[in-house]
Structure 1
Amino acid sequence: MTQNDTFPRQYARTQRLSLGEPRSFTLSPCSQRLVFARAASGSDSVNMLWVLNTQTGEEKVVFNPQAVLDNTGDITAEELRRRERARESASGVVSYSCDAAVEHAVTIINGQLFLVDLLNGQSTALNIEPGVFDARLNAPGTHVAYIRNGALCVADISQGTDNTHEKVLASDPAPHISWGMADFIAAEEMDRQRGYWWSPHGEHLAVCRVDESPIDTWFIADPAHPEKPATEHRYPAAGTANAKVTLHIVQRESAASIAVSLPSDDEYLNSVAWSAAGLIVQLQSRDQKSVAVFSVDATTGNAEEIFADADDAWVELVSGVPALSTTGKLVTTVDREGARRLQVDGVLVTPAHLQVRAVLHVGDTIVFQANHIDSPWTIDVWRCDIATLSLTCFSSEFPTPHSVSGIATDNAFLLRVSHMTAPRAEFSISTGHSVHSHAEEMLVAPNVAFHTVGNSNIPVAIVTPRDNGTHKLPVLFDPYGGPHAQRVVGSLLAYATSQWFADQGFVVVIADGRGTPGKGSAYERSVLHDLAEPVLVDQVEVAQALAQLEPRADTSRVAIRGWSFGGYLAALAVLRRPDIFHCAVAGAPVTDWRLYDTHYTERYLGNPAVDAHPYESTSLINDAHLLERPLLLIHGLADDNVVAAHTLQLSSALLAAGKDHEVLPLSGVTHMTPQEVVAENLLLHQLSFIQRSLPTAP
């Protein structure tokens, strides 16, 4: 922390207060070692690899990338794309892979592959050419697989790192075909960041072959550097073709390959899980109303359906499932009786008042994340004993509300705990020790009150200055407001930016309206066929209830800001309800859902080639003529997720309609804004725009 720090500067410098926080945890099967990545300080972006003795609490660095950075090459283009999909802005050890015993790990620094001995802390650069990414050790630790130029390769390290020899296991000379990589939709929308999986014994691999040739090519240019060619980007926009993804079993030694005989009428390969209990694969239909799980014979490639689920709206994908228990029981989640519930071999395990959010471990036990539907801001970690199907909450001892996640084995766990009395996350190990965070403490002190509003009990957090004043203040709505993102949570850190705005003289309001997660199936599915009206109606309902919730709120001066879906909501608010919202900052907004990707958009709005009405009724471009209030549009010109065409096309429509507005283009910036100078000044620019755009106080 520097002497002249302000919160915007600190927030930018620390990459949203994330630097120095331990992450990417792995517990050894013996539960005596915890491996993790962490930077040396809260302003250092270079993660080192650490090992903690869970019995003593002693931590030690086993790999410091700073010592080898000068001897490595450049980060590969594939790795840069993976980091963008994962919203990864740190450096150094951003990912690693361990053997089954968690005695060795591999990691990649700027394309160079390193082997780390987790017991003695020695590391060695493998004797292969740089330019690889996504390296993974097999279970015995004898071989490492990785991707080079779209090909899956393997190196034998059993005889030492000096004698490694690279073998290409799967490749294709045809353009736009890759092996072992996750396609754009899998990585961006399905939480599948990988495209290959080792067998439990390390002799075979299940490998995705991805053919992107059916996908339309878009071009992402950098107008600030006209001397640079535009980047080709295969983008599957709603209603257009997806990549063709097939699964193959590849033999490590011979490179012999057999195709897995999966049905061709299911569009999406959601997940693959290969454990000692077997190999299973989940597929999903193009309309996302059905999924099927298949058991695969790795010797023949034959696949047998062992589970299917369907829903009139869509089947939600949940991280960590499907999976097989140690004894081969199938663990899944299903939406039943209004909640997302855990299921073991067809038997419902969790009650209808719990909403399962993610599955963290499946073995002899199941460890999962869930919240009570009537209090979605408190998220707990639970364990299910598969033998008895009994449930135990790991995190009930922490102050409520709280947000808890973590990792686990059958006999140990680590919890990441955030709550409303701690300025940063805490990390608790089941042995009684903790992992230290080097993250900086925020230069604001959030002052948050929780409420529910209306018949649907919309979760609301109201953030106010700590001055104990009684005079009226303008209001700033600060939502995301859409699917898969919850803003009203039991974590003090989640309100850091909102508190900074409050300290500038605002009542800040965050509302998780219909479509956001945590409040059950019907609440999430309220946005089916309409991502605009239900979402906006709930924000309006909260605005109209503010007088009873916070007496300082001056509802004659209401601004709204947001990014991504929140940017869409902010622009939608001033276009359709200028009587409620008096100015808006819309960052990276979707303005025409036809320009967004297949899997996300078609889940809610359907296929525009079949029915275009949901797309017409939710388009901001069609509403451009309605603008009456100040609107600031912000967009990264290098964004390959919500491309800059969204903002540019809306701006063109506003100009054609004679509507004044402002556009802030961000050269070289993607969908995330990790650049320090950009992140700091974006906050300041938004504040300035809102202050000069709101009506004068009466």
Structure 2
Amino acid sequence: MTSSHEQISFPRQYARTQRFTLGAPRAFSVSPDGERVVFVRSGSGTDRTHGLWVLDLREGVERLAADPEALLAGAAEELSPEERARRERVREGSAGVVGYAVDGAVELAAFALSGRLFAAELRAGTARELPVPGPVIDPRPSPDGRFVAYAAGGALRVTGADGTGDRALAEPDPATEADGVTYGLAEFAASEEMARTRGFWWGPDSDRLLVARVDERPVKRWWIADPAHPGREPQRVAYPAAGTANAEVRLFVVDLSGNRTEVLWDRAAFPYLGRVHWSSEGAPLLLVQARDQRTHAYLAVDPESGATTTVRVDEDPAWLELFAGVPAWTADGRLVRITDEDGVRALAVGDRVLTDARLHVRAVLDVGAEDVLISASAGEAAGADGAAGADASSETGEIHVYRVSEQGVERVSEAPGVHAAARSGAVMVLSSARPDAPGSVARVLRDGKQLAEVVSYAQRPVLSARARLVEAGERRIPCAVLLPSWWSAGDGPLPVLMDPYGGPHGQRVLAAHNAYLTSQWFAEQGFAVVVADGRGMPGRSPAWEKAVRDRLTLALDDQVAALEALAADFPLDLGRVAIRGWSFGGYLAGLAALRRPDVFHAAVVGAPVADWRLYDTHYTERYLGLPDEQESVYAANSLVTDAGLVDAREPARPMMIVHGLADDNVVAAHTLRLSSALLAAGRPHEVLPLSGVTHMTPQEQVAENLLLLQVDFLKRALGLG
């Protein structure tokens, strides 16, 4: 343990605090009566075990409603394979109460610990175990608080909130549905790529549910082995690689006696179940997608017959995004959706589009009686090539909360930063991360006036990020530039480290201090660090995002353009340029070293998608189509093909390729194929295999030492002392 007078290193602190997320409150729920705010939080900035907390707004005090250590009597938490997979999909690396669900009054919460079911009475602040068969996944109380539904053993089950009457409502038929059919769980593609982690939804009257039936038998099986333990059997996973069969998803209305009615829609035309919404404001509402994701259908469900009625169909020549919080109904029965129209990503309610080019809508946070609460960036109309419009915003990296109604748009969050909110009625929790202060602050507001601030135990970083946010080049590419704190103008130019993610859904240029801590640490090692968000990234305009259709390599073009433009204003040594990245960023780093060695002199390639044919259907086909129909497109966007390197250019640049061998998202086969191709071509590279590590590298020693090893490689590769 570090003594009080000993300065902990940033890599160790970064790893120990799980990127400074431990101890910070999150996952807020607000009670409709405005008396309680529920959230999860661990006990310190290094405590990985989260408890369930309640902030009593009447008394202004916080109470621990569920203490995992007490509930488990000090025993270590044990996770089932299904729960481990679920947490991997949502990138959850901590322990304890990492998720919960509440009833309509926010008086009862349900959660799982070690595969066991627990319920907490939030007014009283007490928790107890409900004796049910497990391992339990995703428990959810009914709106009236009388029941708790949960998934276990492939079945969707329900028990009374008092722990009596447990029974299966829908379960696989052992004779016809064994080995691959589950009820009440999301399939891989939904949880990994659609941000739909649920597989069942309570009806507003608490008398029936919508339940997803997932049949993974058509999906090809892959085997993920642990070479460090040859005595262990490989893990068998159903992985829907691009161009192959997906899981078959059906939906049923199931009552509390187990009677079921299938929900009917054209599943051949719309195989993806993207969103499900069921509230007292209207009929159950589905958003279903075509496989090419260029068509969405909004369907209203008749719970009695299972028949569906088309409410609306949207189409786009590139693709249509899925968004949080929509579709939904307003209290008077109008459809709430986010739409790309006339070059603008806007909020639509009923037949009216309520926002314009001044906002780029990102999510719906709450649909109230008089307004809709949204998350949005400052918007700008964009040309067909994704270039920025003339009225580009100066709010680079900022995300704000807005109220939208027929009367207009009102911004709720004030200071520059990245803001999010949870709301019920007049009470809102506004979480704000700012560029000039570490961490984030969660304030509780009633009618705009602060009632309380939720305590955060997150540690303060041992360094301060000094990011300068700018827009670079003709396309005005959003960038963050970080220089060493010790650098002065007389020190001359610095070797450059490009530090992007660079791909869809992965915005890195944010007006938030902690977003740049790792980049600042690399800067302190003697680099000028550049984070650039080129085309394909969210937050600017639909055209900016969709410019990468069939051309993911445009991400590399924009990294080069940003680098060259920034060199005019910052001390960048263009003769010593490296790049590092993970996942899509790893792909981008590999692409940079192979395709643009005239610009990049070394690359750290982390968990790269080297061959897009090995990545999943929903993500890959959105951007590249089907591999059998777009073979040349796949070849042009991949790092390798069966024939070897694609479009690699001289001179050969050193690469360090890093991959977790337990990764079930970007499997290690990507790195093995890339390394084989590099070896065959005689190109220098190093491979760092991480035994037992998944895609999110949560282990403390791995996270710490991985940073140190990258710096060592980069200094060697660039010839730095």
The answer to whether the superposition gives a TM-score over 0.5 is: yes
Alignment of 1:99-118 (within 5 A): 99-118=103-122
Residue equivalent to 1:351: 356
Alignment of 1:225-236 (within 5 A): 225-236=229-240
Does the CA contact (< 8 Å) of 1:381 and 1:404 recur in 2? yes
Residue equivalent to 1:286: 291
Shift of residue 351, structure 1, vs aligned partner: 1.0
Q: 1:275 aligns with which of 249, 274, 279?
A: 279
Residue equivalent to 2:385: none
The runs of 5 or more residues in structure 1 that have no matched partner are none
Q: Which deviations, in whole Å up to 9, do the C-alpha atoms of 1:147-201 show, x marking residues without a partner?
A: 11111111123xx33x453334333322201101000000001000000000001
Residue equivalent to 1:260: 263
Q: Distance between the aligned counterparts of 1:73 and 1:661, measured in 2?
A: 40
Does the CA contact (< 8 Å) of 1:72 and 1:112 recur in 2? no
Whether 2:377 is the aligned partner of 1:377: answer no
Residue equivalent to 2:559: 539
Does the CA contact (< 8 Å) of 2:253 and 2:260 recur in 1? yes
Whether 2:682 is the aligned partner of 1:658: answer yes
Shift of residue 596, structure 1, vs aligned partner: 0.5
Q: 1:481 aligns with which of 498, 502, 520?
A: 502
Does the CA contact (< 8 Å) of 2:155 and 2:168 recur in 1? no
Q: Distance between the aligned counterparts of 1:344 and 1:624, measured in 2?
A: 48
Q: Which deviations, in whole Å up to 9, do the C-alpha atoms of 1:507-547 show, x marking residues without a partner?
A: 00000011101110111111011111x11111111121232
Alignment of 1:264-343 (within 5 A): 264=267, 265-277=269-281, 278-343=283-348
Does the CA contact (< 8 Å) of 2:277 and 2:286 recur in 1? yes
Query: Residue 529 of structure 2 aligns to a residue in which SS?
Result: strand
Shift of residue 603, structure 1, vs aligned partner: 0.6
Q: 1:144 aligns with which of 145, 148, 151?
A: 148
Residue equivalent to 1:462: 481
Shift of residue 689, structure 1, vs aligned partner: 0.2
Q: Distance between the aligned counterparts of 2:671 and 2:407, measured in 1?
A: 51
Does the CA contact (< 8 Å) of 2:134 and 2:152 recur in 1? no
Q: Which deviations, in whole Å up to 9, do the C-alpha atoms of 1:644-672 show, x marking residues without a partner?
A: 00000000111111112100000100000
Whether 2:78 is the aligned partner of 1:62: answer no
Whether 2:29 is the aligned partner of 1:26: answer yes
CA RMSD of aligned residues (A): 1.4
Query: Residue 150 of structure 2 aligns to a residue in which SS?
Result: strand
Shift of residue 363, structure 1, vs aligned partner: 3.1
Residue equivalent to 2:615: 596
Alignment of 1:364-443 (within 5 A): 364=369, 365-373=371-379, 374=393, 375-385=395-405, 388-395=406-413, 397-398=414-415, 400=416, 402-431=417-446, 432=450, 433-443=452-462
Does the CA contact (< 8 Å) of 1:126 and 1:164 recur in 2? no
Residue equivalent to 1:5: 8
Q: Distance between the aligned counterparts of 1:72 and 1:577, measured in 2?
A: 49
State, as a whole percentage, how many aligned pairs show the same letter. 46
The runs of 5 or more residues in structure 2 that have no matched partner are 380-392
Residue equivalent to 1:631: 655
Residue equivalent to 1:211: 215
Q: Distance between the aligned counterparts of 2:360 and 2:60, measured in 1?
A: 34
| TM-score (ref. length: structure 2) | 0.93
Residue equivalent to 1:609: 628
Deviates more, 1:624-633 or 1:426-435: 624-633
Does the CA contact (< 8 Å) of 2:49 and 2:94 recur in 1? yes
Does the CA contact (< 8 Å) of 1:7 and 1:442 recur in 2? yes
Q: 2:468 aligns with which of 449, 452, 462?
A: 449
Query: Residue 554 of structure 1 aligns to a residue in which SS?
Result: strand
Matched length: 686
Does the CA contact (< 8 Å) of 1:203 and 1:251 recur in 2? yes
Query: Residue 210 of structure 1 aligns to a residue in which SS?
Result: strand
Per the alignment, do residues 696 and 5 of structure 1 end up closer, same or farther by CA in structure 2, a change over 3 Å counting? closer
Does the CA contact (< 8 Å) of 1:624 and 1:654 recur in 2? no
Residue equivalent to 2:574: 555
Q: Distance between the aligned counterparts of 2:59 and 2:398, measured in 1?
A: 31
Per the alignment, do residues 355 and 511 of structure 1 end up closer, same or farther by CA in structure 2, a change over 3 Å counting? same
Does the CA contact (< 8 Å) of 1:349 and 1:389 recur in 2? no
Amino acid at match of 2:170: L
Amino acid at match of 1:167: A
Per the alignment, do residues 376 and 696 of structure 1 end up closer, same or farther by CA in structure 2, a change over 3 Å counting? closer
Q: Which deviations, in whole Å up to 9, do the C-alpha atoms of 1:376-430 show, x marking residues without a partner?
A: 5111001123xx34221100x21x2x11112112322111101112111111111
Does the CA contact (< 8 Å) of 1:221 and 1:229 recur in 2? yes
Query: Residue 86 of structure 2 aligns to a residue in which SS?
Result: helix
Does the CA contact (< 8 Å) of 1:156 and 1:166 recur in 2? no
Query: Residue 689 of structure 2 aligns to a residue in which SS?
Result: strand
Shift of residue 555, structure 1, vs aligned partner: 1.3
Does the CA contact (< 8 Å) of 1:39 and 1:46 recur in 2? yes
Residue equivalent to 1:176: 180
Query: Residue 431 of structure 2 aligns to a residue in which SS?
Result: strand
Q: Distance between the aligned counterparts of 1:48 and 1:156, measured in 2?
A: 23
Residue equivalent to 1:92: 96
Shift of residue 55, structure 1, vs aligned partner: 4.2
Amino acid at match of 1:268: Y
Shift of residue 128, structure 1, vs aligned partner: 1.9
Does the CA contact (< 8 Å) of 2:502 and 2:536 recur in 1? yes
Per the alignment, do residues 169 and 434 of structure 1 end up closer, same or farther by CA in structure 2, a change over 3 Å counting? same
Amino acid at match of 2:410: T
Alignment of 1:509-524 (within 5 A): 509-524=530-545
Q: Distance between the aligned counterparts of 1:682 and 1:212, measured in 2?
A: 36
Deviates more, 1:220-229 or 1:420-429: 420-429
Q: Distance between the aligned counterparts of 1:270 and 1:554, measured in 2?
A: 46
Residue equivalent to 2:597: 578
Q: Distance between the aligned counterparts of 1:479 and 1:693, measured in 2?
A: 19
Shift of residue 502, structure 1, vs aligned partner: 0.6
